[in-house]
Amino acid sequence: MTDQQGAERKLPDPAELSRTMASIAETSQRLVADFLARQRDGDKDQDPDPLNIGQAFFEMTARLMSDPAKLVQAQMSLWQDYMNLWQATARRMMGQESAPVISPQPEDRRFKDAAWQENELFDFVKQSYLLTARWVQSTVSQVEGLDDKTAKKVDFYTRQFVDALAPSNFALTNPEVLRETVASNGENLVNGLKNLLGDLERGKGRLAITMTDPQAFEVGKNVAITPGKVVFRNDLIELLQYEPTTKDVARRPLLIMAPWINKFYILDLREKNSFIRWAVAQGQTVFVISWVNPDEKLATKSFEDYMVEGPLAALDAIEKITGEPDANVLGYCLGGTLLAATLAWLEAKKQAKRVASATFLTTLVDFKEPGDLGVFIDEEQLQSLEAKMAEKGYLEGAHMATTFNMLRSNDLIWSFVVNNYLLGKEPFPFDLLYWNSDSTRMPAAMHSFYLRKMYQENLLSKPGGIKLNGVPIDLTTIKTPTFILSTREDHIAPWKTTYAATQLYSGKIKFVLAASGHIAGVVNPPESKKYSHWTNDKLPADPDAWLAAAKETSGSWWPGWAEWLGQFANGKVAARKLGAGKSKALGDAPGTYVKARS
């Protein structure tokens, strides 16, 4: 090694490295002891397979072994891929040009480090993993004779397994981690173990991965800061009314109903990306439902209660405050599912005129094809979940958060494992991930009804399939003018499934498809000039046919929605001042319910 090379690549001091490794071993020992103690004290009666994965894989293995010829053929195909890879790698090592046998998808950020391409060894490790992953997933997906639910469960958990074994997730096969370990004399691993221990302690024995700096944000201080007041409160909601920023406003008020699985401030993160602030600036009198973070006292609250004490109570309060007998209502995700049920209930009660227009953002009402979330819904898993909820009267918010994170495990689990535990870094402050970590609980009665009647039995889309307050509801009776927004890469509410609503409702419908996913496709302010959206006035039964004839427009869908909503403004009035007339304030926005953490 030349003097110049030695200066560029200083080897770690052996004594210092020894002390570092001893510290790692000591930290590891405490971590394991603490984890085992928590498991012994708190989880000895835990169901070993609450997700009923074992039976699904047993059935898959039995089917796979029943056709040994196909298995041998698959193994020979993998062997041929390995031979091609070895030959390509050998050519590279001899200085020859060689095209990769397999490459990661463009959106796969696990292999973005240059060494995965430039170093022959790491390139071999990467391609070997990608070939094996492709072989495993294709072999499993081609097993015949499995019922649809079992096949989807096997496919989903196979992907989880494959993602977990990526070489980027291990210190010795991740070039970035190896460089950092040498450069810091192993300090990154010590810091990583400290981060791991901290996350285990924070999760009380369950690994609660820190995704962002929790001290960087505070609800009401630098997120959820649009000025407003709490103007109504009951057991389930605080109703927020926001201060106007225009001289005149639409006569008809706007009610926004976010899902109670997460907190409403996804629509009010910061000034630059707040949908609520933007809607106020468009001359809307904006009211928002902030759902309570329920505890055991609300265990018996039902889906009906969420309707009566949610949108119906909010509409009553808005009428008292503004004097307007109706409102435009927007529902996001599960909030949209409740909105659809409420509209059908109002139709049955001859009160449909209380809602002048309805906007649905990424909303499922037909659960026939719910995407990957469907793998969590079968009788065995529901019984296990109901038994867990019966212990406290609610489902812990962390349980739901883990489920959603698994839908994008590389982005929402393994990237943080590498950053926090292998590189030993602190997570970057990010408002969206702070909101994502601010999970909410689910009352046992409501959540069981929702999962069984909608996800498992798909009764909401069937006329009379569900009764609310003793009234059978039928979505096909809904005549309210409707705006439906879906997002193309949605992993929670697949757009082709949400499109089914266009074939259910009887009123005039406008369907818009936005680029990106469940959050980024919705929270897309015009100023960001990101993503595009598609429109098509015709609504054929086939969503692919709709998209094939749709027109693509660059930028946010927000202005188009505002133009559509303008049809239902019912004229203009002077901006409504908060605290005037019957709108007695109970406190400042964002209120108290949103600040209760799980």
Are the beta carbons of 543 and 501 closer than 8 angstroms?
no
Half-sphere exposure of 37 (CA within 13 A, CB side): 9
* Active-site residue (options: 333, 377, 423, 504): 333
Per-residue confidence band for 530, with pLDDT thresholds at 50, 70 and 90: very high
Domain covering 230-380+382-396+441-595: architecture: 3-Layer(aba) Sandwich (3.40)
So what's the pLDDT on residue 45? 44
Q: What is the end-to-end Cα distance of the chain in Å, rounded?
A: 56
Per-residue confidence band for 190, with pLDDT thresholds at 50, 70 and 90: confident
Is 333 annotated as catalytic?
yes
Q: What is the pTM of this model?
A: 0.88
So what's the pLDDT on residue 39? 56
So what's the pLDDT on residue 172? 92
So what's the pLDDT on residue 151? 87
Q: Where do the domains of the chain lie?
A: 230-380+382-396+441-595
User: What mean pLDDT is predicted for residues 466-492?
Assistant: 96
Distances (CA, A) of 125 to 152, 159, 424: 29, 19, 23
Mean pLDDT score of the chain: 89
So what's the pLDDT on residue 41? 57
The stretches of 467-549 forming alpha helices (DSSP H) are 495-498, 543-548
So what's the pLDDT on residue 63? 76
Local structure of 181: helix, strand or coil: helix
Lowest-pLDDT choice from 57-61, 388-392, 571-575: 57-61
Strand partners, 574: 248
Instruction: Summarize pLDDT for 66-104 with one digit per residue, the tens.
Output: 778 887 888 898 899 999 999 999 999 998 988 999 999
Lowest-pLDDT choice from 44-58, 336-350, 413-427, 565-579: 44-58
So what's the pLDDT on residue 504? 96
Instruction: Summarize pLDDT for 316-336 with one digit per residue, the tens.
Output: 999 999 999 999 999 999 999
Per-residue confidence band for 9, with pLDDT thresholds at 50, 70 and 90: very low
H or E stretch at 333: none
Instruction: Summarize pLDDT for 122-146 with one digit per residue, the tens.
Output: 999 999 999 999 999 999 888 888 8
Are the beta carbons of 262 and 586 closer than 8 angstroms?
no
Non-local CB neighbours of 368 within 8 Å, separated by 6+ positions: 458, 461, 497, 500
So what's the pLDDT on residue 397? 85
Whether the pLDDT of residue 241 is over 90: the answer is yes
> Distance between CA 276 and CA 558 in Å, rounded?
11
So what's the pLDDT on residue 476? 97
What share of the chain has pLDDT > 70, as a percent? Answer: 90
